[in-house]
Amino acid sequence: MPNVISPADAPENARFAIIVAEWNKSITQKLLDGALATFAERGVADDAVDVAWVPGAWEIPVVTQRLADTCRYAGILTLGAVIKGDTVHDHWINAGVTDGLMRIGIEHSLPVLFGVLTCETLEQAIQRAGGNVGNKGAECAEAALHMAGLLAALPTR
C-alpha cells in the first residue's frame, strides 16, 4: 500500500494574494467576489488577503513575480478574462500569461492559481464567473487552500 500524503489545513497564519485584471471588470469582479467569499467561508481573515488590481491579463505575471519574491504568501490567485476578438490577440495574451505564471510558480515552489478565463465568447465568461459553470475565482481559492495545505504536509528533505 503506498503512503498517501494528504493535505493538512492551510497554515493558520497563511496569507494569500489575489491579482485581478481590470479589463472585463464586469467578469473579473465576480471572480474576485467568489474567491473572497470562499476564503471567508474557510476561515481566512480579510486581513490575510491582499488584492492588487492590474490593467489587464498581460500585466498579471509581473505583479505575481513581485509578490512571489516577497515570500509572504502561501498562494497567489490570478484572475482575469481574455475573450476572443476578431484577431489572434487573445492567443498571444493567453500563451504569454500562462507561461509566465507557470514559471513563477515552479521557480518559487508556490501555488500560483490560474483563474484567467480564456473564452471564445462573453457568454462563456459570464457562465464561468458565477453562472451555470460555477465561479472560477471560488475554485481558485479552494485550490489555493488545498495546495497550501499539501505543501505544508510534504517532506522538505
| Spatial separation of the C-alpha atoms in residues 31 and 18, rounded to whole Å | 10
Q: Is 51 annotated as a binding residue?
A: no
The residue type of 45 is A
Q: Is 128 annotated as a binding residue?
A: yes
Answer yes or no: 91 catalytic: no
Catalytic residue among 89, 91, 108, 146: 89
Q: Is 66 annotated as a binding residue?
A: no
Q: If 0-12 CB within 10 Å is exposed, 13-18 middle and 19+ buried, where does residue 5 land?
A: exposed
Q: Is 86 annotated as a binding residue?
A: yes
Q: Is 114 annotated as a binding residue?
A: yes
Q: Is-contact 77 141, C-beta < 8 A? A: yes
Annotated binding site for (2S)-2-hydroxy-3-oxobutyl phosphate: 86-87, 128
| Residues with active-site annotation | 89
User: Residues forming the annotated binding site?
Assistant: 23, 57-59, 81-83, 86-87, 114, 128
